[in-house]
Structure 1
Amino acid sequence: MSDLLAALLLGIIEGITEFLPISSTGHLLIAEHWLGARSELFNIAIQAGAILAVVLIYWRRLWGMLLAFVGRDAPAAFDPLGISTTPAQSRDYAFKLVAAFAVTAVLGLLVKKLGWELPDDIRPVAWALVIGALWMVGAEWLAARRAARDGERVAIGWTVAILVGVAQVVAGVFPGTSRSAATIFVALLAGTTSRAAATEFAFVVGIPTMFAATGYELLKLCKGGGIGSEDWAALGVAFVASAITAFVAVKWLLRYIQSHRFTAFAVYRVVLGMALLLWLPAGR
């Protein structure tokens, strides 16, 4: 298989799995066993391609938050689900996004300083897929009970914002957990019982997180003199493929969660995780 075709396939896999709660990093680690390992910059850059899709989908929401954040009069923004947002609400939402990102940035840099690297063994990924599925089902069930008792809550509280920031780092340390799953279901457990509101915050907070991670890796590569060793053509192909497929996947998911729970994704995770545990040879 040519290198460009392999990069295209990896970009498509990333775009489909980045925002579905099934773990993009886990799927990429599995795919790279057959398509060849890639640099850390490649993996983070194609995640940034997927995040670009979210920027395009939420651009009105983001513009309203930006204007409100700097104290300008902003028109009422709205998200892809048609939820109207006042300038004051946009400003509050923006501050909570900054808080979540700050927590992720500080903890993420600490993890980097400790020398953490992605594992080569797929078996921990398989276990994370299975355990994460049980966590998803339990969290959504508890959130549904709370919503039935107290009414659906769409607000993002400060506790939710801080815990979402922590969840992003946990998902990065344990591939197979899924950043979107960790952040969505932490938000549901922490008090935001609306699937739509929890999903939106999880998606939007990924924008500064993944763009910052890409910039960090690119700067490190430049300082280390390894910029010339990167296959930029393959990275470009994967980036574009990731952005296009992620745009389609996010649009579909936003419609899906309006009338469905996340149970189907949990079942998929269990089936994939168990298949990997049963079929992988020891040590893989």
Structure 2
Amino acid sequence: MNDYLISVLLGIVEGLTEFLPVSSTAHLRISEALLHINLTDPYWKMYTIVIQLGAILALLLIFAARIIEFLRTFPEGAEHDRNVWNHPLTLTLVAFVCTAIPAFLLTKTIGKHLESLKVMALSLLIGGIVMWVVDAWSDRSDPPTKHVEQMSLGQSIWIGLCQVLSAVFPGTSRSMSTIAAGQVVGMSRPAALEFSFLVSIPTMIAATGYDLLKTLHPKHAEGADSIAPLVMTGHGWVVLAIGFVVSFFVALGVVEWFLQWVRKHGFVPFSVYRIIVGILLLVFAARLA
């Protein structure tokens, strides 16, 4: 298949799945397998990392006004009922740190699971069931935390720790783990979703930046995960740019749509989708074995 078309398809997959609770990692791996992309090829390793930056840029654009508002009202908050410990900016940073430290310490375990179709399939399946149960349970009561501005430090720590699951078990989905974790501790769907997006900004920037540095830095040139030395051609730059731009615009539309959808319909359709894909992937993995 033409490299330009492959780049468009992968950009669409990344943009569609990065912020939906369905796991972009699993969908990219499945797509790359179906498109017969050699995952040991240095270029495609780098490509997979870089197109995620397009999705991050879209999220930053959408939440720019919200972030500026938080910066303007720090630390007392818009209603003057916050302090330096429970302001949304602090809570986002706390959740990020609670994710980053355990994820860094578990780097070797994470690396072992990244290419395992069985782990991805089980994560999709189990995560779908958990999300369905949590969303149904949460819908039966009136959540006390209706807005991000009402969150507590404890809720932030809990969400950050739960997000580690998405790093250790690819297929879990950062979005799913943070949304479900938020609902468990009394957050409404919109509040849990918004905080999921907010905490994903530093998390994704750190994760993609670390992956890129780890693979491109000269001291890793002989490591198993290294993509150096990498020689970029004009064709390679164009293919990379296509994936980045497509990922950006698709993610831009998906985030706006997802915010509106969840307020009215909840997460059950995504749970059902995860369960179906997880079962199909388990069957596929069993046949390969």
Q: TM-score, structure 2 length as denominator?
A: 0.83
Alignment of 1:28 with 2:22, yes or no, is: no
Match of 2:230 in 1: 228
Q: Deviations over 1:185-217 (max 9, x none)?
A: 01110221x100100000111111111122222
What are the within-5 Å matches in structure 2 for residues 81-100 of structure 1? 85-86=78-79, 89=82, 92-100=87-95
- 2:160, 2:57 → 1: CA distance? 20
With over 3 angstroms needed to count, the CA separation of the structure-2 counterparts of 1:87 and 1:249, relative to structure 1, is farther
1:227 offset after TM fit, Å?
5.7
Alignment of 1:161 with 2:166, yes or no, is: no
Structure 1 range deviating more: 118-127 or 173-182: 118-127
Match of 1:120, SS state, is coil
1:56 offset after TM fit, Å?
0.9
Is the Cα contact below 8 Å between 1:157 and 1:191 reproduced in 2? Answer: no
- 2:108, 2:162 → 1: CA distance? 19
Match of 2:264, SS state, is coil
> 164, 185, 196: which one pairs with 1:202?
196
Q: Which amino acid aligns with 1:211?
A: I
Alignment of 1:188 with 2:193, yes or no, is: no
1:20 offset after TM fit, Å?
1.2
Is the Cα contact below 8 Å between 2:62 and 2:252 reproduced in 1? Answer: yes
Match of 1:196, SS state, is helix
Is the Cα contact below 8 Å between 1:8 and 1:238 reproduced in 2? Answer: yes
1:159 offset after TM fit, Å?
2.1
What are the within-5 Å matches in structure 2 for residues 223-262 of structure 1? 223=218, 224=220, 226=228, 228-229=230-231, 231-262=236-267
Structure 1 range deviating more: 54-63 or 269-278: 269-278
1:173 offset after TM fit, Å?
1.6
Q: Deviations over 1:59-90 (max 9, x none)?
A: 11111223444x6x9xx8xxxxxxxx557659
> 50, 53, 58: which one pairs with 1:48?
53
Match of 2:114 in 1: 119
With over 3 angstroms needed to count, the CA separation of the structure-2 counterparts of 1:41 and 1:90, relative to structure 1, is farther
Aligned length in residues: 269
Match of 1:79 in 2: none
- 1:217, 1:186 → 2: CA distance? 26
1:246 offset after TM fit, Å?
0.7
Match of 1:218 in 2: 212
Is there any run of 5+ residues in structure 2 with no aligned partner, and where? 222-227
Is there any run of 5+ residues in structure 1 with no aligned partner, and where? 77-84
Is the Cα contact below 8 Å between 2:110 and 2:169 reproduced in 1? Answer: no
1:253 offset after TM fit, Å?
0.7
Please give the root-mean-square deviation of Cα atoms over the aligned residues, in Å.
2.5
- 1:146, 1:280 → 2: CA distance? 39
Match of 1:103 in 2: 98
